[in-house]
Structure 1
C-alpha cells in the first residue's frame, strides 16, 4: 500500500465527513440486500408454491433456510474478518450475495432453491456481523450512532422494496425476476467496497501503523485528531497483546461478561420483541382478523414504510438522545400498542371501527419498536465489545439476532393457532416489557464514547447502567 498517501489526497473532493457518509452508505448496501432478500419471500412464496406444487411444510423450509444460513454466516465470518480484515470480508460477502441470488432465481427444483437461500443466508448473517463493525471502527465517536444506523435504514429500504414488489408481483413479475433483481445492488456493493478504506483499528492490530494513519486521515478533519485516536488504538492493541487468553476462550473472561450480557441480550430482544415476525406475517395476521387479501397486502406495505421512516428518524436522533434512553422511552408505548391490539381481537372490541383499531395498533407498535430498540440492535454489537473479542463477539451477536429471529418466526403461526392473534399479541407485549426491564438493568449508555473508552470502562469495572457511569469512566482514566 505504498501508494496510499497519494490515494488519500485524491480519493474524492468530499470533505472527511462527507467521505465518511459515503463509506457508510456504500457499506450499508449490504443491509438493503438483507432486507430485500429476507422480505421478498413473502410475496414470491405463493408463486413459488404454485410452480413447484409445494405444501405448507415445504414452503416453511424455503422461507426458513435463509435464517438458518444467517446463523451459520454470522459465526463463520468471525475468522474471515479477523484474518482478512473488515473490508475484504464485506467484498466476499457481497460476492456470496450475487451467487446466492442468481442460483435462487435459476433454481430448477425446490431443493435447489432451498440450498440457494441457505447460501443467501450465509451472506445475510455475515453482513450483519461485519458491516456495522466496519462502519463503527471508522466513525468518530460523536457520529458513530447515526453512521452505523445507515445499515438499519438500508434494511428498511430493502424491506420496503420487497413489499412493493410483493404487492405488484402477482400481476407484473415472475418470482425468478423478483428474487434475481437483487444481483444488481450486490454487484454495486462488490465494486464499491474495493474503493473504500480498510479499518484503521484492524490495521493497528496487524501492526500496520502507517497504513492505519493513512486510512484514518481520510475520515478525520485534523492531524491532531488522527494522532490522538491512533495513539489510543495503539494503547489498547498493546494491552491486548499482553493478554494471555484470546479468541473464543476470551469470551469467558469475567471482565468482558457485562458487555456480553448487555450485547447479546439486546440482540435477542431486538428480534423477540416481534418486529421481523410482524413484517413477515402481517398479511396472515390481518387475514385472520377479517381483512381481505388485498387490504392485508397494502397494510403490510404500510408496515414496511413505517419501519423505514422510523429507522431513519432513529438514525437522526440516536447520537443526541442516547441508545439506552431512546429504548427506555419507546418500549412502553410498544407494549401498550400490543396490549390494546390483543384486547381488540380477543374481546371483539371496536365494533364497526375494529379494523381501524387493529391497523392503528399495528402501526403504533411499528413506530415505537422500529424507532427504538431496532435502532440499537446492530449498533450495540458494533460498539460494545472490546477489541480482544470483537470478531468473535460480533459473530455471536449476529448469530443471536438470527437465532432469535428463527425461533420467533418459526413459532409465530403455531402460537396464533394456540392463542389466537389477540393472545399472541399479549405474549409479544410481555416480551417487549421484558426488553425494557433488561435494558434498564443491564445496558449502559455508550453515546459519545470512543470504542477505546468503552473498553477501559469494562476493564475498570465501571461499565454499568447508571447515570454515574461517565464520571466513573473519567476517574478510571
Structure 2
C-alpha cells in the first residue's frame, strides 16, 4: 500500500475529527507538540539546575569565582555548537532524527555530570548538555511550527516555552529538595529521566511534513498531514501551498546572503541578541546571588528563586493565551515596556536604599514583575517569530544561525554578569539592562513583523516579494 492510501486503522481522509474512538486531529497535533516539547523541558531543567548546584560544586571542588563562572557558562559553549550545527543537519537528515540525537546528548551529559570525579569532567558534561540544549532550542520550535495549523501555531510553539519554564521550576524544586544534603550530583542525575522520555517518544513521532515535501517525499508528507488536518481538502490545499515554495535543490549557506533574506535575518537575529542583552538569563542563573546582594539570607534567597520560577511558569501560560489573540508584535512591545519599568524601579531602589529586609522585598517584587513580563511576552515570542519568518529551503539552517546568536549573547551576558556587579554595582548593572530593554522596544517597532494567523508559506512569499506581514 502506498503512503497516500488509507490504512485500515487510520481515520478516513475528510472524516470528522471528533468521531470514532481515536483522538481528534487537534489532539494528535497537541500530543506531538508535548512529546517534542520535552526538548524544551530539558532546555529549562539543565539551564536552571546550576542555580541550586553551583554553591555545593564550588565547595566540593574549592573553585575560584572565575572557575565557578566557567562551570556556569560552559553549557553555553555546547549550546552554541549544538544550535549552529543542528539546523543544517536537520535540513539534510530530518528534524526528528536530530532531535533524537539531542536526546542522547541530554542523557549522556546528565549521567556524566552526576558521576563527574573532577572539574574537567564536569565541564565536559556541561558542554555535552549544551549540545542538547542548542539543538533543542533550534529544532523544537521549527518542528512544532511545521506541524501546527496557522490559527493555533503561536500557542503550540509557545508550548515549548511553557515546558522550558516547567523545566526551570523543576530544577529549582529539585535543587531546594537536595539543599540540606548538598547532593548536587543528584540534581544533575534527575535530568536523565525526561531525556530518556524524549528519546523514546521521538521514535514514535512522524517527521515534519514540510521537510518531507522539501525532500520530494510527497506521499509520506500527505500521509502525515492526513493525521494532522481535519479533512482531505485541507490536506491537499496545504500540500499545494507548500509546493509553491518547495526548494528545487539542497540547502546552501549562501542562500542566507540573498538580499530578500535580510529583513528576516535582521528581525530574527536582532530579537535574539537584544533579548539576551536585557539580562533575562542572569536571573535564571544567578537569582540567589541577586537576592543575596539585595539583603536576603541564603535559604530565603533559594526559596525566593523557587517563587520566581513559579511566576515564570504562570505568566508563560498567560502569554500563550494572548499570542494568537493580540499578535506577536503587540505582545512583545507591551511586555518589554513593563520589563524596562521594573528594572528602573529595581535600580532606583538599590541606588537609594541600604541592604535591609525592605530592600530585599522590593527587589523580589521588581524581579517578579520583570520575570512575569519576560515570561508573558519576550520568552513566548522569541522562538515563535524566527520559526515563522524563514523560508522552507533554509529554515533549519537559518534557525541555527539565529539561535547561535542567542546562545552567543547568552554566553557573553552570563560570563560578564558577576564582573558587571563588581564594576558597576548591582544598581548600575540593572540600569544597563533597563536601557537595553528600551532599545529592544525601539527595535521591535522598526523591524519585527506581525505573523499572527498567516501560513508559513504566506509569510515566506511576503518576505520574498519585498513586503512584510501586516504590522
Shared fold by TM > 0.5?
Answer: yes
Answering whether residue 116 of structure 2 is matched by residue 107 of structure 1, we say yes
Encode CA deviations 1:412-440: one digit per residue, 9 max, x unaligned: 11111111111111111111111100000
Q: Contact 1:343–1:349 at 8 Å: present in 2 too?
A: no
Instruction: Select the residue among 434, 446, 450 that pairs with 1:445.
Output: 450
Q: Contact 2:3–2:223 at 8 Å: present in 1 too?
A: no
Q: CA deviation at 1:168?
A: 2.4
Q: CA deviation at 1:52?
A: 2.2
Aligned length: 462
Corresponding residue of 1:475 = none
Q: Contact 2:94–2:207 at 8 Å: present in 1 too?
A: yes
Instruction: Select the residue among 431, 439, 461 that pairs with 1:434.
Output: 439
Answering whether residue 242 of structure 2 is matched by residue 241 of structure 1, we say no
Q: CA deviation at 1:120?
A: 0.8
Corresponding residue of 2:18 = none
User: What runs of 5+ residues in structure 1 fail to find an aligned partner?
Assistant: 468-477
Q: CA deviation at 1:246?
A: 4.9
Answering whether residue 93 of structure 2 is matched by residue 84 of structure 1, we say yes
Moved more, 167-176 or 2-11: 2-11
Instruction: Select the residue among 226, 229, 233 that pairs with 2:238.
Output: 229
Instruction: Select the residue among 133, 146, 149 that pairs with 1:137.
Output: 146
Answering whether residue 158 of structure 2 is matched by residue 158 of structure 1, we say no
Q: Contact 1:152–1:311 at 8 Å: present in 2 too?
A: yes
Corresponding residue of 1:409 = 414
Give 1:66-77 correspondences, 5 Å limit: 66-77=75-86
Q: Contact 2:88–2:400 at 8 Å: present in 1 too?
A: no
Answering whether residue 14 of structure 2 is matched by residue 9 of structure 1, we say no
Change (3 A) 1:250 1:145: same
Q: CA deviation at 1:199?
A: 0.6
Equivalent-residue separation in structure 1 for 2:176 and 2:312 (angstroms): 17
Give 1:287-436 correspondences, 5 Å limit: 287-348=292-353, 353-436=358-441
Q: Contact 1:344–1:350 at 8 Å: present in 2 too?
A: no
Q: What secondary structure sits across from 1:170 in the alignment? A: coil
Q: With structure 1 as the length reference, what TM-score do the two structures score? A: 0.93
Q: CA deviation at 1:82?
A: 1.1
Q: CA deviation at 1:10?
A: 7.4
The Cα RMSD (Å) is: 2.0
Change (3 A) 1:350 1:284: closer
Corresponding residue of 1:209 = 218
Equivalent-residue separation in structure 1 for 2:428 and 2:34 (angstroms): 40
Encode CA deviations 1:135-170: one digit per residue, 9 max, x unaligned: 100000111000011110000011001111222222
Answering whether residue 45 of structure 2 is matched by residue 36 of structure 1, we say yes
Moved more, 12-21 or 426-435: 12-21
Q: Contact 1:275–1:370 at 8 Å: present in 2 too?
A: no
Corresponding residue of 2:28 = 19
Equivalent-residue separation in structure 2 for 1:225 and 1:367 (angstroms): 38
Equivalent-residue separation in structure 2 for 1:365 and 1:166 (angstroms): 23
Q: Contact 1:311–1:375 at 8 Å: present in 2 too?
A: yes
Q: CA deviation at 1:3?
A: 6.8
Q: What secondary structure sits across from 1:149 in the alignment? A: helix
Q: Name segments (4+ residues, structure 1) moved above 6 Å.
A: 349-352
Change (3 A) 1:8 1:98: farther
Q: CA deviation at 1:178?
A: 1.0
Q: CA deviation at 1:8?
A: 7.1
Q: With structure 2 as the length reference, what TM-score do the two structures score? A: 0.94
Q: CA deviation at 1:76?
A: 1.0
Equivalent-residue separation in structure 1 for 2:157 and 2:379 (angstroms): 12
Equivalent-residue separation in structure 2 for 1:452 and 1:39 (angstroms): 36
Encode CA deviations 1:365-412: one digit per residue, 9 max, x unaligned: 111122111110111121111112212110011111111111111111
Q: CA deviation at 1:354?
A: 3.0
Equivalent-residue separation in structure 2 for 1:118 and 1:349 (angstroms): 39
Moved more, 5-14 or 52-61: 5-14
Q: CA deviation at 1:7?
A: 8.3
Q: Contact 2:91–2:251 at 8 Å: present in 1 too?
A: no
Corresponding residue of 1:60 = 69
Q: What secondary structure sits across from 1:365 in the alignment? A: helix
Q: Contact 1:8–1:214 at 8 Å: present in 2 too?
A: no
Change (3 A) 1:387 1:253: same
Answering whether residue 267 of structure 2 is matched by residue 266 of structure 1, we say no
Equivalent-residue separation in structure 2 for 1:411 and 1:142 (angstroms): 41
Q: Contact 2:328–2:450 at 8 Å: present in 1 too?
A: yes
Change (3 A) 1:94 1:42: same
